[in-house]
Amino acid sequence: MVRRHELTDEQWQALQPLLPVSGAKGRPRVDDRRVINGMLFKAKTGVSWRDLPERYGPWKTVYNRFWRWSRNGTLTMLVAKVRVIAEAIDELDREVSVDSSIVRAHQHAAGARRRPRAHTGGERVVWRADRTR
């Protein structure tokens, strides 16, 4: 059963040729499709790596492959291919959503640490460079 965030057979056929071939010997390799589905699940849900469901393979395998593919350019190629396919069938949503969780607050916003103020005797004096007396 293919879940909403998992690759369909058609999508898998388009992406599979872009994946590096493993020359590793020894332990059987976790299927790349399962691993990619795990990456998609993480992106969709925001779950931590350690909390990935077992159906995607060991979380460490999914993480290691994500890390390796990020470094060697495989993920960049996969995303570019998905973008080309989405544009071809007019399913690319270019709407941008900006909210407070991704916008950095100005340093003077609430919660920012205040600079110490100059004090002389009992009187409080705030020095400002833009004023002359």
* Two structure tokens written together for 114: 């205040």
Q: Is the pTM of this model over 0.75?
A: no
Q: How far apart are CA 79 and CA 92, in angstroms?
A: 12
Contacts for 126-129: CB closer than 8 Å, 24+ residues apart:
none
Say if residues 5 and 40 touch (Cβ distance below 8 Å). yes
**pLDDT tens-digit readout, 78-108:** 989 888 887 887 776 767 666 666 566 666 5
pLDDT band, very low/low/confident/very high, at 109 (cuts 50, 70, 90): low
